[in-house]
Amino acid sequence: MAPPITRVYGGSLTSAMALTLLAWGIRALRGAALMRHLPGVKKRLAKAAMLDSRLAKALGRSPTAKRLAKGAAPLGRAVLRLLVDLDPVPHLVVDVRDADEARREPLPAALREAPHVAHIPEDLLHGALSLKNRQWPAGLAAGPPGRQTLLVFVSSCQRQMRRCAAYATSLGYARVGYLQDSLEAFGALDDPGYAGPWVNRDALALLMGLITGTRKSERVFLVDCRRHDERALYGSIEGSVHVPADHLPRALHFSPEEWLKSYRFPKPGEGDAVVLQCRTNKRAQWAALLCQGAGMDAFVYSQGSYGWHFNEDVKQYASYEEGDAPPEPEPFDLETPDMGKGTQELEALGLSHLLC
C-alpha cells in the first residue's frame, strides 16, 4: 500500500511548512533585535548606497551626471596657485587621494604650506561634506567649508577629481572646481603672480566715457567682482557690471544665453575688452587670470574702488569679511581725471580704438 501523500521523509507537509515559517520568523526577529541594538546601521548603509549611486551617476552620461559635471569648473595650475597665494575668495583645497598615496607623495610645497588645504580621502567625503550630521575629520587646520566656499579637489587622477567635484555639487555646494593639470605639473610651476596687463584710473575713466561725457563702447566691460553687499553699501563705478569673483570659475563656462540670464549683460566675446575691478585689486587679479584662461582680453584696474576718487558716491572702505559689521566709509579728496595721461596709457595698451 502506498504511503499517504501528506508524508514527506517521515513528516507531514504541513509540519514542514510550519517549521520553515518558524525559522523565517526567528530570523526576522533576530534581525530586528540586531537593528535595535545597533542604532544608525541602517542609516549608514543607506548613506553608503546613496554615495555609490551618486558617484556612479557622476561618471555616467545621465542628465543628472551632465548637470553635476556642469556645476564643477576645471582650474588651471596658475589659477590654483594664485588662489592659494592671494586668498582672494573663501576656498578650501581638498586632497582626495588615499592615505598611503598621500604619505608616499606629499603635496607640492605651495599647497602643503597653504592654510586652506585639507586631506580627506574620497571614501570619507560624504561624512565630511554632508551639510547634515557632518563629521569633519579631527586635526585638520582648515575648518569645515560653508555652502558658498569654493571647493577645489586635487589628486593624481583626473577621473577621481571630477568624480569628487560632481559629488560635492550633488550635495549642494555652489562653488566647486578641480585641478585641470596634474599635481606634478602644479609642483613644477614657478611663482607666476599676475603678469598683467593693468589699467590705471585715468585710462579707465576715459575708456568708460566719464571724462568726455560720451557713451562708452559696447565692447568695453568693467566687471565689478566684489560681493553684493560691498557694491550695495559703498557704491559702484558708473557703467560697471557685476559678477562676484567666486562666481567666475563656473560662469565662464556658461553659454551666452545662460550668462545673460544670470548677470543681465551680454557675455564678453572675441575683440571685447574686459576690465576686472574689486576694492583694491586682489580679487581682480585672480578673476582676470580666469578670464584670460577662457580666451578673454582681460585687464585689471589697479587702484580698485578704494582709489576711485573721481566720484563721491563710490566710497572708500576697509576690508571686511561677509557677515562682519560693515566698516564706516573713509573720507577722501575728490580728484579730476587726467585725460592726457589716460590717452597715452590706452594707446600703449592698444585700446585707443575703443574710444567713442
Residue 195 has pLDDT above 90, yes or no: no
Residue 253 has pLDDT above 50, yes or no: yes
Give tens-digit pLDDT for 322-354.
989 999 999 999 999 999 999 999 999 999 999
Residue 46 has pLDDT above 80, yes or no: no
Asked if the bond preceding 3 is cis, omega within 30° of 0, the reply is no
Q: Domain locations in the chain?
A: 49-187, 198-354
Looking at the DSSP bridge assignments, the partners of residue 178 are: 74, 153
Give tens-digit pLDDT for 48-58.
444 444 444 44
Domain 49-187 matches domain 198-354 at the CATH topology level: yes
Is the model's pTM score more than 0.95? no
**191 pLDDT tier (thresholds 50, 70, 90):** confident
Q: Please indicate whether residue 37 or residue 220 has the higher confidence score (pLDDT).
A: 220
Superfamily of domain 198-354 in the CATH hierarchy: Rhodanese-like domain (3.40.250.10)
Task: Transcribe 216-251 into DSSP letters.
Answer: PPTTEEEEE-S-HHHHHHH---TT-EE--GGGHHHH
Helix, strand, coil tally for the chain in percent (to 5): 45, 15, 45
Instruction: Give dist(CA 343, CA 181) in Å, integer.
Output: 40
Residue 80 has pLDDT above 50, yes or no: yes
Instruction: Give dist(CA 141, CA 155) in Å, integer.
Output: 19
Architecture of domain 49-187: 3-Layer(aba) Sandwich (3.40)
Average pLDDT over residues 256-279: 97
What DSSP character marks residue 177? E
Residues 168/149, Cβ–Cβ less than 8 Å: no
117: its cell numbers: 588645504
Dihedrals phi, psi of 177, to nearest 5 degrees: -145, 175
